[in-house]
Chain A
Amino acid sequence: MHRTKLFDHVILMMGVFFMVGPLLVALMTSSHEAADIHRNGLQILPGGHFIDTYTTVLTKQGGFTGKITGLRMMMNSLILGIGFAAGKIILSMLAAYALVYFRFRFATITFWMIFTTLLLPLEVRILPSYEVMNTLKLTNTYTGLIVPLLASATGTFYFRQFFKSIPDELLEAARIDGAGPFKFFIDVIVPLSKTMIAAIFIIMFVYGWNQYLWPTLMTTDESFFTLVRGIKQILLVWVGSNIPDYNEAFALAILAMVPPVMIVMIFQRWFIKGLTESDK
């Protein structure tokens, strides 16, 4: 019995090594000097240049136009992540509320039209989506970055399912007390959905922050670049120069992953609950 447990731990530790190892190496390597890395390869111990490298990456003006800083990209990433998550929650809650709590004529067709959006991911319609954005003059705007991503209706279905599980008696009681649809939504539905909102916010924030293809298409102006969008630029620098700025490349990669990783770690319980219970 004891031996099998030991074997289990060995497998798990190998798993952890495989999963976390590269992240640790990236973090440690980013604290060394570029020339040092070039000479000695990747590092597994901290170097002395942690603060220098990160200050440079956050504040140095780079890119082709020389205007964009790491800080600016981080802010853009935050705008995309938070804007996307908040937008998704507001839209989905309103739509799901209408679908569950109202009797109206076009309910069936509306339901199917929303449902259809789940069938086709953005990736299969990128070019026409891009053309539409061009027509609407929304390229290189935050609106163009965030709003089209909201067109998939996953959130609506999570909230619809959740609202359906709320006991009918609550609505009956609220109506006896004379509450209208707005009051019922704000005083009953929103407070009841708190956990659900938190879970969906975490998942959607990570999803928004990590978007790559859409920002790549929508933003050519570097002042709108997100960290994840900037990855390709990092690589171009890396490939192009004599002694590649490995340290800065790693520092930017670390910056691009720290916020979503932290959020998933800190809110792990909500995150897992939201993921497994709303997905199945």
Chain B
Amino acid sequence: MSATLAAPAAVGFSRIFGPRKSVNKPPEETDAKRVQFNSRLLPYLFLAPQMAIIFVFFYWPSVQAIHSSFYLEDPFGFGSTFVGLANYTDVLKSGEYLGIARFTAVFTALVTFFSLAIGLLLAVKADGVIRGNATYKTLLIWVYAIAPPVAGLMGMMMFDQHIGPLVRFAAFFGWDLKVGLDYTDTAFAMIVVSVWKQIPYNFIFFLSGLQGIPVSVREAALMDCRSGFRRFWTVILPLLAPTAFFLLIINTTYALFDTFGVIDVMVKDKAANNPITLVYKVYMDGFRGNDLGGSSAQSVILMIIVFVLTIFQFRFIERRVHYN
């Protein structure tokens, strides 16, 4: 979700669990201040609003999703029948679904790779120059604040058949770019727009990671090694690894979920011969196709994917805390 920030995985392991040594203790001990208030009622009163919202808008729908994934809903709304795992097997056997899953995987990999690579390149260069440093920084983070569907709209404009400069540019190389009509071309445009939207986020994190590297380390590296590229490869990059892995997870979540707006605007309801991702398929089946059971089964499959990603992230960050 989230314009990225509030991505579910955005809160790191150490943040939630405290330092590693105390992981096995119950949270209230790690949380504990030496002195605390004693009140029977007040803590519940303070927690009540948050808990109420979580129950109604998180637990209820989540349980509902799991529940309806085992049922077949009558299209006219006359009750539903228990069908066991049929919804899941239907989904997983469908060639269309598997095709979308494959596209989602490729899309996610490409968006993650390019937005990380370009973000890193720009951060390294912005960290290196002294003159104009602040200006570059300001200009490069603008796009963070733009909503994915607005980014999609900008993309549609750049790739428009009549007025799009990128279409003309491609035609210059003999590439007849037809976004919205040709599967590959649409996929290409979606990837470009999604990368564009995500670069500032990676740039911000890489830059703050770079600026966190102590001057002494840089100076020592400068004395030992004259080649700038080798210095970057052997000293700077390993120090950035924790940031990079954190961003890897965030970017994966972004490509899977937050790109919904980009895709929705760019396929314009004509999903038939256009590439879509798994999240978009959940939406299509649930709201356009009225297939409650199938859509719910897909939701649960996605939940499992996110769950695995999050656990993976926590395990990784646990290791990182250990390094420090």
Binding site for B on A (CB under 8 A): 4-5, 8-9, 11-12, 15-16, 18-20, 22-23, 25-26, 29, 37-38, 41-42, 90-92, 94-95, 97-104, 107-108, 110-132, 136, 147-148, 150-154, 156-158, 160-161, 164, 168, 171-172, 175, 180-181, 184, 203-204, 206-207, 209-213, 216-217, 228, 231-232, 234-235, 239, 246, 249-250, 253, 256-257, 260-261, 263-265, 268, 272, 275-276, 279-280
Contacts and interface: CB of A to CB of B under 8 A. Distances in A.
Contacts of A168: 33-35
Contact of B150 (A20, A111, A216, A257): A257
A212 B147 contact: yes
9 contacts: A9-B129, A100-B33, A116-B58, A131-B64, A160-B31, A164-B31, A231-B147, A232-B265, A265-B142
Q: Main SS of chain B's interface residues?
A: helix
A16 B199 CA distance: 11
| Chain A CB within 10 A, most for which of B57, B162, B287 | B57
B306 A132 contact: no
Given A103-B38, A108-B27, A212 B260 contact: yes
A14 to B, nearest CB: 9
B7 interface: yes
Interface in B16-66: 16, 26-28, 31-40, 42-44, 46-47, 49-51, 53-54, 56-62, 64-65
Nearest to B168: A41
B299 interface: yes
B31 A128 contact: no
A87 to B, nearest CB: 9
A38 B162 contact: yes
B146 interface: yes
B147 A41 contact: no
Contacts of A184: 37
A103 B28 contact: yes
Q: Main SS of chain A's interface residues?
A: helix
A276 B28 contact: no
| Chain B CB within 10 A, most for which of A12, A126, A127 | A127
A175 B260 CA distance: 50
Contacts of B9: 118
Nearest to B62: A125
A235 B268 contact: yes
A204 B307 CA distance: 24
Interface stretch (B87-95, B99-107, B120-128): B120-128
Contacts of A151: 53-54, 56-58
A119 B306 contact: yes
B171 to A, nearest CB: 13
Contacts of B65: 124-125, 127-128
A104 B44 contact: yes
B238 interface: no
B97 interface: no
